[in-house]
C-alpha cells in the first residue's frame, strides 16, 4: 500500500498491522455474537434465496403475463378500429326503402330528409296508400 507522504518506520508498520488485526478481531467477534433472532432471520433469508433457485417458475406462469398483456392490447386495438355502421349510398331506391321504414314508424319524413329525393315528398301519400292496399290485398 502506498501511503502519500508516508514517512513511517518499521515501528509504525507494526503498529498498523496491530491496528488492522485488532479491528478485524473485533469485526469477527461482532459477527459471531449476532443475537439469535437476527441469526434466525438470516438463516431464513438464506433458505428463501436458495429455494428460489430450486423452484423455477413454470413455463406457463412465465408466459402468462406477457400473453395476457398481448391479448389486452389486441382487444384494445380491435375496439379502437371497429368499423362504423355501413351507410348505403343515396339512390332513389334507397330513399324509397328509407321512406317505407319511416312510414312503418308512423313518421311522415325519412330520417335523412335533407338528402332524400324532393319528388318523394309529393307522392308520399300515394306510396303510403299503395303499401296499405298491398298489405290488405295480400291478406285477402
Residues near another protein (CB under 8 A): 1-4, 6, 8, 10, 12-17, 19-24, 26-35, 37-39, 41-43, 45-46, 48-50, 52-53
How far from each other are the two terminal CA atoms of the chain, in whole angstroms? 118
36, 45, 47, 90 from 52: Cα distances, Å? 24, 11, 8, 68
95 closest CA partner among 69, 81, 82, 114: 114
Nearer of residues 17 and 134 to another protein, judged by Cβ: 17
Exposure of 131 by Cβ count < 10 A (0-12 exposed, 13-18 middle, 19+ buried)?
middle
Q: Which residue has the cell 434465496?
A: 49
Least CB distance from residue 78 to another protein, whole Å?
Answer: 38
By C-beta, is 59 or 140 nearer to another protein? 59
Q: Which is nearer to another protein, 56 or 85 (CB)?
A: 56
Residues 6+ apart with CB under 8 A from 112: 90, 98
Least distance (Å) between residue 51 CB and another protein: 9
The least distance separating another protein from the CB of residue 87, rounded to whole angstroms, comes to 57
Residue 12 beta carbon to another protein: minimum distance, rounded to whole angstroms: 8
Q: Which is nearer to another protein, 22 or 125 (CB)?
A: 22
Amino acid at each position: 500500500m502506498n501511503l502519500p507522504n508516508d514517512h513511517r518506520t518499521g515501528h509504525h508498520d507494526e503498529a498498523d498491522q496491530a491496528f488492522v488485526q485488532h479491528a478485524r478481531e473485533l469485526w469477527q467477534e461482532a459477527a459471531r455474537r449476532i443475537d439469535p433472532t437476527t441469526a434466525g432471520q438470516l438463516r431464513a433469508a438464506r433458505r428463501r434465496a436458495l429455494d428460489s433457485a430450486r423452484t423455477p417458475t413454470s413455463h406457463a406462469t412465465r408466459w402468462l403475463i406477457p400473453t395476457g398483456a398481448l391479448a389486452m392490447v389486441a382487444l384494445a386495438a380491435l375496439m379502437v378500429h371497429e368499423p362504423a355502421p355501413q351507410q348505403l349510398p343515396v339512390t332513389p331506391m334507397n330513399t324509397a326503402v328509407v321512406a317505407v321504414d319511416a312510414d312503418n314508424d308512423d313518421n311522415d319524413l325519412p330520417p335523412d330528409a335533407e338528402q332524400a329525393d324532393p319528388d318523394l315528398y309529393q307522392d308520399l301519400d300515394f306510396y303510403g296508400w299503395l303499401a296499405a292496399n298491398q298489405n290488405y290485398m295480400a291478406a285477402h
